[in-house]
Amino acid sequence: MKFFIDTANLDQIREANDLGVLDGVTTNPSLMAKEGIKGKEAIFQHYKTICEMVDGPISAEVLGTTFDEIVAEGKELAAIHPNIVVKVPMIKDGIKAIKWFTDNDIQTNCTLVFSAGQAILAAKAGATFVSPFLGRIDDSGWDGVQLIEEIVQIYNAQGYMTEVLAASIRNPLHIVRCASAGADVCTCPLSSILGLLKHPLTDLGLQQFLKDAQSMK
């Protein structure tokens, strides 16, 4: 399973990248706005900077919602860097646009996916990635990982090439469960990636080893 970081914060991207386990980055308009990025020039420059930092797929989301707007914006985003993946919402015009991008060799990430039916449509349109938002599903009292399992099963049964990108990750256990469910990618906040490191027995064990190491000097 590949690890993407779900942020537009350059310090966090750098920290995850330095760990050596980062395969890509996903952003969305909320994450970009959180960094105070305003205006087309600044937005494009920010994506360029991220592409120069991380050698892997970088999802950049369109802001338009009509077919023409999505295609025009997606073409411009894709021209920033070969690693840009155009992130498109799961709406009717979005699906049409994903098919257009597929036919024109532009990589896509179909976002805001909350059902297996939506994931089937994204795959039929040829999306490179599909992003089910499992944390938001959990937040509403359903089981997000169950949806990941269902989509993985359908894609395997049908031979769809679209990669299942588990998004809206809230904690390290989500990452572990997505790996077990067969997700191709997990896009996570830095805190969830670093959370995988933690175990009290590791800390206690290391403390003891360091103490014993002192006695050997």
Give, as ranges, the residues between 177 and 206 that touch ligand G3P (CB under 6 A): 187
Give the residue carrying structure tokens 């002192």: 214
Segment near ligand G3P (CB under 6 A), from 12-20, 78-86, 128-136, 172-180?
Answer: 128-136
Nearer to ligand G3P, 140 or 215 (CB): 140
Strands (E), 52-103: 58-61, 84-89
Nearest-5° Cα angle at 191, 190 to 194: 85
Give the residue carrying structure tokens 């499992």: 134
Which of 29, 25, 32 minimizes the C-alpha distance to 58?
A: 25
Report the residue from 12, 28, 83, 109 that binds ligand G3P according to the rule CB under 6 A: 28
Interatomic CA distance for residues 177 and 49, integer angstroms: 32
Q: How far is the CB of 93 from ligand G3P (least distance, A)?
A: 20
Give the residue carrying structure tokens 């050698």: 55
The two structure tokens encoding residue 115: 């059902």
Are residues 175 and 192 in contact, defined by beta-carbon separation less than 8 angstroms?
A: yes
135 binding ligand G3P? (CB under 6 A): yes
* Catalytic hit among 75, 87, 92, 211: 87
Nearer to ligand G3P, 108 or 187 (CB): 187
Report the residue from 56, 72, 136, 150 that binds ligand G3P according to the rule CB under 6 A: 136
Segment near ligand G3P (CB under 6 A), from 118-126, 129-137, 145-153, 197-205?
Answer: 129-137
Interatomic CA distance for residues 216 and 80, integer angstroms: 56
Contact characters 76-115, ligand G3P, x per CB under 6 A: ----------------------------------------
Are residues 105 and 139 in contact, defined by beta-carbon separation less than 8 angstroms?
A: no
The two structure tokens encoding residue 143: 């089981």
Report the residue from 5, 167, 181, 186 that binds ligand G3P according to the rule CB under 6 A: 167
87 is catalytic: yes
Binding site for ligand G3P (CB under 6 A): 6, 26, 28, 133, 135-136, 167-168, 187
Residues with catalytic annotation?
Answer: 87
